[in-house]
Chain A
């Protein structure tokens, strides 16, 4: 039996807001979360631009044991998950007595790795790193910590799929529920945002160096874009089988109707047109919808020259004259990397709920490829019944999710 999969909870902690209300307001008003971080310049970064995400103070929220095992992206994910659980009306009693899973996208934990090895080298003793370090350093840190904090008893692992990690996590959760292996999974993505986490990415020269105007730096699809701006935070998307959600009496926010995926089978960092197009096409086919039914595309578009151009061509290949509205929320948030596939579902869900398409800020002049898209340079008040969210990553990993508005049918 195949089950319908619905979204019943969302939560967000990002550079454009610490909760759903703040983020919805930022999206509506085109507010940027990008700053210039002087510490990055001291570390030798080519670009000191980054999304700014304040670490939450969890001292009186979580006990010491839980806190010393959480790296910053774990703290961000805790914040977004607390909010999503509240939206979904989950109490701890329910989590204690049912098989609820967790799948998060995360693909690094650089700061704890670097800091712990600095201690080992300085002290000449491994024990001096303390007991919390190992649980902070592993890629699975978010799921191992949150599953412990919330005492989860279902599926439990981390998805590392580069900048598509969060999207694949939701896609895998969707697949597990669709085929009846789980009733409910807490999905999401998390991304560290400290100066240790992005140095080797900066080395590739992939970041914008428009340091004199941080809010103008992230310019997806714009002719004068000069690279991405790294960012981070935590995003949570709680998904359930329709039967499970109805039985609980949960409020249904939307329905996931497709998870398309593909691998480019080409260069490790250079994008292709064909790979993403295959994922998008698979998602449309799986959902059984025409391209004209997609009202909005939340593009992956990170503001790199090659990435945006190839995505524009991929979208144009499939949507042609249909031209749904397109925007990249990375114009405001920066590139939230491992988290972005999940956060952009949250952003798009907020747009769908409130009836607007967030602006692709800093889109001032199209280039040859983006001129073929219907890009929302300004906020547009409009109804969204169905959206497509693209996420692509190094190694040529691609993920496309389609979400439909819940209309009680």
Chain B
């Protein structure tokens, strides 16, 4: 999934969850300030990500994410890693099953 596709998918959920105008969500905008996140809100951001992209993220991972562009890149990388893990797990399972 490209960063554009990630943005297209996640922005409506961010608008809904954090009740902000989607037009404010630009790649250069600051994630924390735009979504007005306090320490508790990161938990809800994790829920939004996990619900939409089906991978687990730790709240601490947000330390290196400043802009939405950083955020989309992070999700893109995580999805690639997840796909690779899925392929690896499938291979391991095939070997286990003697296929």
Query: Which A residues contact B (CB, under 8 angstroms)?
Result: 64-65, 68, 125, 127-128, 130-132
Closest chain A residue to B42, Cβ basis: A131
Whether the Cβ atoms of B43 and A127 lie closer than 8 Å is: yes
CB of B8 within 8 Å of the partner chain = no
* 18 extra interface residue pairs, beta carbon distance < 8 Å, beyond A131-B43, A132-B40, A132-B44: A64-B18, A64-B19, A65-B38, A65-B40, A65-B41, A68-B44, A125-B50, A125-B56, A127-B43, A127-B50, A128-B47, A128-B50, A130-B43, A130-B44, A130-B47, A131-B40, A131-B41, A131-B44
Q: What is the bound-complex CA distance between A132 and B47, given in angstroms? A: 12
CB of B46 within 8 Å of the partner chain = yes
**Chain B stretch 29-44: residues in CB contact (< 8 A) with chain A:** 38, 40-41, 43-44
Whether the Cβ atoms of A127 and B19 lie closer than 8 Å is: no
Closest chain A residue to B17, Cβ basis: A64
Q: In the complex, how many angstroms separate the beta carbon of A70 from the nearest chain B beta carbon?
A: 14
Q: Which B residues are in CB contact (< 8 Å) with A125?
A: 50, 56
| Chain A CB within 10 Å, residue with most, of B19, B38, B41, B43 | B43
Q: Which 7 A-B pairs have the closest CB atoms?
A: A131-B43, A131-B40, A64-B19, A131-B44, A130-B47, A130-B44, A127-B46
Q: Which A residues are in CB contact (< 8 Å) with B18?
A: 64
Interface residues of B, dominant DSSP: helix
Q: Which A residues are in CB contact (< 8 Å) with B44?
A: 68, 130-132
24 residue pairs bridging A and B, Cβ less than 8 Å apart: A64-B18, A64-B19, A65-B38, A65-B40, A65-B41, A68-B44, A125-B50, A125-B56, A127-B43, A127-B46, A127-B47, A127-B50, A128-B47, A128-B50, A128-B51, A130-B43, A130-B44, A130-B47, A131-B40, A131-B41, A131-B43, A131-B44, A132-B40, A132-B44
Query: Which B residues contact A (CB, under 8 angstroms)?
Result: 18-19, 38, 40-41, 43-44, 46-47, 50-51, 56
Q: What is the bound-complex CA distance between A68 and B19, given in angstroms? A: 12
Q: In the complex, how many angstroms separate the beta carbon of B2 from the nearest chain A beta carbon?
A: 27
Q: What is the bound-complex CA distance between A68 and B48, given in angstroms? A: 15
Q: What is the bound-complex CA distance between A130 and B50, given in angstroms? A: 11
Q: Which A residues are in CB contact (< 8 Å) with B38?
A: 65
Q: Which B residues are in CB contact (< 8 Å) with A132?
A: 40, 44
Q: Which A residues are in CB contact (< 8 Å) with B50?
A: 125, 127-128
Q: In the complex, how many angstroms separate the beta carbon of B87 from the nearest chain A beta carbon?
A: 23
Q: In the complex, how many angstroms separate the beta carbon of A113 from the nearest chain B beta carbon?
A: 18
Closest chain A residue to B19, Cβ basis: A64
Q: Which B residues are in CB contact (< 8 Å) with A131?
A: 40-41, 43-44
Q: Which B residues are in CB contact (< 8 Å) with A65?
A: 38, 40-41
Closest chain A residue to B48, Cβ basis: A130
Q: What is the bound-complex CA distance between A131 and B18, given in angstroms? A: 13
Q: In the complex, how many angstroms separate the beta carbon of A281 from the nearest chain B beta carbon?
A: 49
Q: Which A residues are in CB contact (< 8 Å) with B46?
A: 127
Q: What is the bound-complex CA distance between A202 and B40, given in angstroms? A: 37
Q: What is the bound-complex CA distance between A64 and B44, given in angstroms? A: 12
Q: In the complex, how many angstroms separate the beta carbon of B26 from the nearest chain A beta carbon?
A: 21
Q: What is the bound-complex CA distance between A128 and B52, given in angstroms? A: 12
| Chain B CB within 10 Å, residue with most, of A64, A125, A128, A131 | A131
Q: What is the bound-complex CA distance between A65 and B41, given in angstroms? A: 8
Q: In the complex, how many angstroms separate the beta carbon of A157 from the nearest chain B beta carbon?
A: 22
Q: What is the bound-complex CA distance between A127 and B38, given in angstroms? A: 16
| Chain A CB within 10 Å, residue with most, of B18, B38, B47, B51 | B47
